[in-house]
Structures are given as C-alpha cells and as structure tokens.
Chain A
Amino acid sequence: MGDLAFLPNWPPLANQMIWVGVLLVAGVAGGELVQRVLRLPRITGYAAAGLALGPDGWGLIGRPLLEELVVFVDIAIGLVLFELGTRLDLAWLRRSPGLALMGVAESLGAAALVFVTLHWHFGHEPLVAAVAAAIAMSTSPAVLIRVAADLRAQGQVTERALILTAINGVIAFLALTVLIPWLHLEYRGGWLTILTQPLYLLAGSLVLATAAAQATLKLVQLVGKHAERQFIVVIGLVVLTVGAAVALKLSVLLTLLAMGAMVHNADRERHFMVVDSGNAGQLFYLLLFVITGARLDLGLVATAGAAGLAFVLVRFAGKALGVLAVAPFIGLNLRHAGLVALALTPMSGLAVVMVYETATLYPEVRASVAPVVLAAVVILELFGPVATQFAIRQAGEAGAGR
C-alpha cells in the first residue's frame, strides 16, 4: 500500500482549479454552441453554461467556490467600466448635446416607470423602490461592448447605444450614491451621514479616479504605442484602483467609470491607444458571464418572476419613451431610435453588483426589492444579448462573417 502512495485517491479529490477550468471550458463550448446552432450571441451561451454548472443547475460549482471567484468578477467589471468610461466621449456630447439629453431622458424614463410600478402596483416602500429604479437606469455595458465586438458592428445605432450606456451608467451610480444615505437615515438615523456620505463617495471616487487616470496616462507614455503592453498597464491599474476603492470604501463603479472617462478625455495628445478587448480582454468577459450565470438564482423567477417581468417591461418602455422623445432633435429616424432603445435592454453582472453593494449595507433591500431586480436580471441575462444583437442586425450594422 505504502509503495503506491504516489497514486491519487480514488475517486480523485477535485480541487478548485479543476472546477474553474471546467467553468471556462464549458463557457467557451456553450458560447460556440449557442452561436452556431441557435444563432444567438455567444455571451448568452456563456451565461447558460454557468447556470447549468452552478448551484441552480447540476450543482458542480458550489456557492463557496463562487464566492471565491467573485474577485474575477470584480476585476472584469472594473475593466468593463473602464472601457465604458473611455467611450464617454465628451467632445461628441458637446457637438451633439441632444445625445446627452437622450441619455438623461431614457434613464429618467426607465426610473420613473419602474418606480411607479414597484411602489404603486407592487407596494414596495418608496425608498427601496427608488433604489431599484436607480439600478434600472443602467444598461449592461459588458453585454453591449461584447455583442457589438462579436458582430463587428459599426454604425450609428451601435455607437449611440454605447455612449448612452455610458451616460445611463453615470446617472445610475450618481442616483445610487445619493440614495444610499437616505436608506441609512430611514433605517439607522443620522443627518450627518446624509450630507457627508455622498460627498465622501463622490469627491473621494473622483480624486482616486483622477490619480488613477494620471498614472495610466504616464505609464502608457512610458510603454509607448504598443496596444498589448498598454493593455497590461490598464489591467494593472484597474486592479489596483478597484482594490483601492474597496479599501477606501469608495464607489468602485463611479471610480472606474470616471477613470476611463478621464483617460479618454484628458489625453489630448492621444498617447493612450484603444483598449480593444482582444484575447486577454475576452477571457475576463467570459469569466464575467459564466460566473454571473452560475450565480443566477432561478428560484427567484418562481417567487418574484411576475414583478421581475413587469420590471423588465416597464424599464424597456421607459427607455424607449426617452429615446423616441429626443430622437427627432438629433436627426435619428424612428426606426433607428426604436433599435437604439432595444439595444439598451440588457442588464447583467453590473446590476447584480449594485444590488449586492446596497444589500450588504442595508439588509432591508435584500429582503424587499433585491429579488425583483435579480429576477429581472435572470430574464435579461438570456434575452438582453438577444435583443441587442437583433437591434444591431436590423440596423444593418453587423459585419460580414463572425
């Protein structure tokens, strides 16, 4: 017996590395399968693979492991937000202010309808309904960026949907930042918090973002015009900044988005090359979607499915109203405006993070409105990418070949 101790136990004990690998491989395979057989976006396949392996599927990947993998989600979301920030092209918004107005209109449209529905129809308290409404404003940047890249989309519907996603992200984070202290007041009391917490979050996040953006631009100049090396600089600084934001209890979302926006808009000499989510970037997107998929709670569809579906529908209606109302002023025809609104449908990992960020601070949110938002995420995890892909294809902006 002792002589054969070099042999593994039987059955061998699976370590975590194996499961992470299984998750990745299943994600890639799921993505290809879904794309080739069903002609659906790959990321829908990534999420489906994650869901299948996760606790609500075959259960191969347990909750403890998922908790450990959250670090990848944080890095991936950091990268996505940074890339989204670089798309917040202020020069374009100055030239076409109607576009900024459209972003505000569709955000407020979605928030208003979601608030009214959750508060009056489903009877949630105003404050938690407002939190859900704030989350409803944001579109999943990861889905939009990835679907557009996969389709090699070029054109005005795609470009406008992307910048609107950047705008509604900013508005959603600002709204949450302002709402969180009110939750604090409601459940814990203390006016000092109401006044100082948003100030700390906003000012602190912006200061950190400025420092991170300056560091990025400096380092990028150091490595020169090499896209791959610049990408490594970005990964390094994004991870560092996410860590710093967490340590300082600042808003990771706001900080990273602002960092990306500053890198793009402060870089007058264009030292920074575009972060094209190339090979390494795609890995993070894959991880983001499989892990988000694995964390989906299907049980919510049973308990909060009706409210979740209502959330999805009124959110879309609100966004469509906002986009259509402003479209004539920026020379966007009705058909294209409808397609832009449709492209803005996805909600994904980012919404989950926003829910958890508030729910950790205020468990009241977890009990009341979180299930509704998460049920909506379950629905949109599958249908959101499909809607975006459909919109881009209908606009004739998808490239030939995949």
Chain B
Amino acid sequence: MTLEFKSSEPLTLGVELELQLVNTRDYNLTRGASDLLAAVAKRKHPGDIKPEITESMIEISTSVCSSPEQVRAELDAMRAVLVEGAAKLNLGVAGGGTHPFQQWTERRIYDTPRFRHVSELYGYLAKQFTVFGQHVHIGVRSGDEAVRLTHALARYVPHFIALSASSPFAGGADTQFDSSRLNVVNAFPLAGFMPYVADWDEFEHYFGEMRAFGIVESMKDFYWDIRPKPEYGTIEIRVFDTPLTVARSAELAAYAQALAAAVRDDRSWSPHPSQYLVYSYNRFQACRFGFGATIVDPFTREHRLLADEIVAALSRVAPHAERLGGGEAVGRLLSAAAARANDAKVLREVLEKRGSLPDVVRAACAAWHGS
C-alpha cells in the first residue's frame, strides 16, 4: 500500500493547542471537558474546539492560516469563547506543558473508542501522558519536500524546546528541567525522530515495513518530534510545550514558518545522517537547561550556548518572517531569547514569590485568560 501525500500550499500554518482545565478552588486539574464543550457548543468561532484523551484537557486548533497574524487572531477568538464559557462554569483554562502538581492516578480517560484503545495499550503511560503540547503544521507541496523539511527543522528542535518550555514542575516538585513534558513523551516506543530517509519513496517503504511488522497502523502511531502528515499535506512539529499565552503560541508558529521559508530558499542545503548523532543529546540539553543548554554542532563539533544559537537563527530568518507577516512575532521571540526568558522561568518566579504550586497554576490561568 502507498501513503498518498496530499499537496498543499507551501508555508501555510495550522496550530493545535492542548490546554489544561482546572478548578478555581485549589487549581488542580478537574473533570470539565464535556461540560465546557457543551457550554461553548453554540458559540461561533474560527477553528475547532474538541475533547482530548482526558476530561481535564481540551484541544483547540486553527484552520489553515496564511500568516502568523491569522493564527494569532483565530487563537484569540477561540480563547475569548473558552474564557467566557469557563467563567460561567467556574473553571480555569491554562497553558503550560505539565500541570505542576496533578497526580496521574487521578486522571480519567475520555470515553471514545480510540482513547480507550490507547489507554488499554499503553497502561499507565496513557494517564501519565496528561501533558500539554502545541503542534504547528506547515504546508508543503509534496512528500519529498516534507521529508526534506523534517530533516532541516530537526536541528532546530532544541530552539523550539527552549523557546516554548513551560513545564518545570511535575508531580508537585521542581523537576530541574525547563521542559519536563518531553520526558513523558520519550517513554513511548515510537517517540524521538523520524528515521533517516532520503525522500518520500523511502519513507513509504519504511512505513510499509513497520505496518508489515504489525507495529503501526497509521501515522498517528508515530510520536516523533516532527512528522510528515500526508493526509494534511504538512509536516507537524510536536515538541513545543503549550505556552502560557496564545501570543507566544503564534510567535512560535511564526518562527517555524520563517525557518521553513529559509530552508525552501536554500537549495544548497541537504540533509545528512550525522545530524542525528547529536540529536538526542542536544534535545536533552534543551529540555534540562533551556536557553542555558550547551549544544553540539555535528559538523564543526563546536559546543555552543543555545541562547546564542537561537538569537543568531532568529536574526537570520527575520527577513523571511518580515515577508510572511511574522516580523513582529519573531522580534518578540528575539528579545525573549536575548533575555533568556521563557515560560518556565516565569512559572519558577511565581513559585518563588507566592510560595505554592496552586498559586503557580492560578497565575498560569490569569496569563492564558489574558487578565
């Protein structure tokens, strides 16, 4: 069988956000998805609001957008609808890659066949997977382009991690990681990176083998950091923690889009398998130390400070962002990177100042609600 890759308009954007639902009493995760979905069902908004695997999570996704500004506008509109619905139900909606103190044993699985299957297959991992990520889709013309872009963006995975990191706390403690969420993702057998394939034909061959082994049924079974999405005609970046604000979500999309534009223009670049020798190490560094990570360049063997790399890359792609309508967004990321300020830092500062993790979640709600 073949995987048909549906062509789409290059550099179009789509953003999905997994969001936390908490009560406003002790700010623990709460069962609220079906009530909230019912409450907003009749409200008009762009994009889509839908349930996720547990009752404490909902997912919002934009339509296919042409610019980061449109992403921002759609996310803002959905945020307004959700915040209004949540206010009536006395719920809080928040970003952040993990809930700081929830116990995974308390989670309930949303009752659909797919989620029940996942829960049966993965056991406690399915409940531990109560982590919250942002996915960014970037449109590509063909499967070959998708493979090339997946390889090209793989070296920026540490950037995406450090810029979006918002999960310093898990299980009631500071994990010392800026993004502890990805440690949970790593437990899944098909996590990590796409194997080194040269083009779409090779990818299809690989997929066919995996299917023949009976390991996967569909692309959904791959939990890679970046994966081609043939039915949408996109590649999907999945390493981002859900940021504390929709503004940051749109900024990250702008950066990914600008990077993709730069790769499209740079025909001299081609993927090389040795980039994956350092992939897991660099990824770990970014999760653990955020902007302070030390990143290894597989070709020059240089060790560099991630913050410096990010600032350099953002400056490099700024003209592309400008052209695509994401100039301002990339500019804001640049100042954040220069100040080494990500959401993990914000959350740690709240704990320092207020003294308890419920206060941290309360601040996260206020940030996402926009008050």
Which residues of A137-161 have CB atoms within 8 Å of chain B's CB atoms? 152, 154-156, 159
Contacts of B88 in A (CB 8 A): 95-96, 330-331
Stretch at the interface among B24-32, B67-75, B143-151, B327-335: B24-32
Contacts of A270 in B (CB 8 A): 354, 358-359, 362
Known A156-B89, A274-B25; further 18 A-B contacts with Cβ < 8 A: A87-B25, A89-B25, A92-B24, A92-B90, A95-B88, A95-B90, A96-B87, A152-B106, A155-B30, A155-B31, A155-B32, A156-B32, A156-B35, A224-B355, A225-B356, A274-B26, A331-B39, A400-B108
Taken together as a complex, chains A and B put the C-alpha atoms of A89 and B88 apart, in Å, by 12
Contact assessment for A399 and B108 in the assembled complex, using a CB-CB cutoff below 8 Å: yes
Is B282 an interface position by the 8 A CB rule? no
- Report the minimal beta-carbon distance from A329 to chain B, rounded to whole angstroms: 11
Is B23 an interface position by the 8 A CB rule? yes
Taken together as a complex, chains A and B put the C-alpha atoms of A96 and B35 apart, in Å, by 15
Could you tell me the dominant secondary structure of chain A's interface residues? loop
A residues neighboring B (CB under 8 Å): 87, 89, 91-92, 95-96, 152, 154-156, 159, 224-225, 270, 273-274, 276, 330-331, 333, 397, 399-400
Contact assessment for A95 and B108 in the assembled complex, using a CB-CB cutoff below 8 Å: no
**Chain A residue, CB-CB nearest to B21:** A154
- Report the minimal beta-carbon distance from B124 to chain A, rounded to whole angstroms: 13
Contact assessment for A154 and B30 in the assembled complex, using a CB-CB cutoff below 8 Å: yes
Pick from B26, B30, B35, B359: contact of A276, CB below 8 A: B26
**Chain A residue, CB-CB nearest to B39:** A331
B100-125 vs A: 1/0 string, CB under 8 Å?
00000010100000000000000000
Contact assessment for B356 and A399 in the assembled complex, using a CB-CB cutoff below 8 Å: no
Given A273-B356, A276-B26, decide whether A155 and B90 contact each other with a Cβ distance below 8 A: no
Contacts of B23 in A (CB 8 A): 154, 159
Taken together as a complex, chains A and B put the C-alpha atoms of A152 and B55 apart, in Å, by 14
Contact assessment for A225 and B90 in the assembled complex, using a CB-CB cutoff below 8 Å: no
Contact assessment for B87 and A225 in the assembled complex, using a CB-CB cutoff below 8 Å: no
Q: How many A-B residue pairs have CB under 8 A?
A: 55
- Report the minimal beta-carbon distance from B108 to chain A, rounded to whole angstroms: 6
- Report the minimal beta-carbon distance from B28 to chain A, rounded to whole angstroms: 9
Taken together as a complex, chains A and B put the C-alpha atoms of A270 and B350 apart, in Å, by 13
- Report the minimal beta-carbon distance from A309 to chain B, rounded to whole angstroms: 35
Contacts of B354 in A (CB 8 A): 225, 270
Pick from A87, A92, A224, A397: contact of B31, CB below 8 A: A397
Contacts of B25 in A (CB 8 A): 87, 89, 274
Given A154-B31, A274-B26, decide whether A95 and B358 contact each other with a Cβ distance below 8 A: no
Contacts of B55 in A (CB 8 A): 154
Question: Can you report 7 residue pairs joining A to B where beta carbons are below 8 Å apart?
Answer: A89-B25, A154-B55, A156-B32, A225-B354, A225-B359, A274-B26, A331-B39
Contacts of A225 in B (CB 8 A): 354-356, 359
Contact assessment for B24 and A89 in the assembled complex, using a CB-CB cutoff below 8 Å: yes
Taken together as a complex, chains A and B put the C-alpha atoms of A340 and B39 apart, in Å, by 17
Contact assessment for A155 and B35 in the assembled complex, using a CB-CB cutoff below 8 Å: yes
- Report the minimal beta-carbon distance from A272 to chain B, rounded to whole angstroms: 11
- Report the minimal beta-carbon distance from B359 to chain A, rounded to whole angstroms: 6
- Report the minimal beta-carbon distance from B101 to chain A, rounded to whole angstroms: 12
Which residues of B314-371 have CB atoms within 8 Å of chain A's CB atoms? 354-356, 358-359, 362
Contacts of B39 in A (CB 8 A): 331
Taken together as a complex, chains A and B put the C-alpha atoms of A274 and B25 apart, in Å, by 7
Taken together as a complex, chains A and B put the C-alpha atoms of A87 and B26 apart, in Å, by 11
**Chain A residue, CB-CB nearest to B26:** A274
- Report the minimal beta-carbon distance from A91 to chain B, rounded to whole angstroms: 8
- Report the minimal beta-carbon distance from A96 to chain B, rounded to whole angstroms: 5
- Report the minimal beta-carbon distance from A110 to chain B, rounded to whole angstroms: 24
Which are the 4 A-B pairs with shortest beta-carbon distances?
A225-B356, A154-B31, A225-B355, A92-B90
Contacts of B106 in A (CB 8 A): 152, 399
Contacts of A91 in B (CB 8 A): 24
Taken together as a complex, chains A and B put the C-alpha atoms of A89 and B91 apart, in Å, by 12
Contact assessment for A95 and B35 in the assembled complex, using a CB-CB cutoff below 8 Å: no
Taken together as a complex, chains A and B put the C-alpha atoms of A330 and B90 apart, in Å, by 12
- Report the minimal beta-carbon distance from B263 to chain A, rounded to whole angstroms: 46
- Report the minimal beta-carbon distance from B178 to chain A, rounded to whole angstroms: 24
Contact assessment for A95 and B31 in the assembled complex, using a CB-CB cutoff below 8 Å: no
Contacts of B89 in A (CB 8 A): 96, 156, 159
- Report the minimal beta-carbon distance from B20 to chain A, rounded to whole angstroms: 14
Contact assessment for B87 and A95 in the assembled complex, using a CB-CB cutoff below 8 Å: yes
Taken together as a complex, chains A and B put the C-alpha atoms of A400 and B108 apart, in Å, by 7
Taken together as a complex, chains A and B put the C-alpha atoms of A273 and B355 apart, in Å, by 11
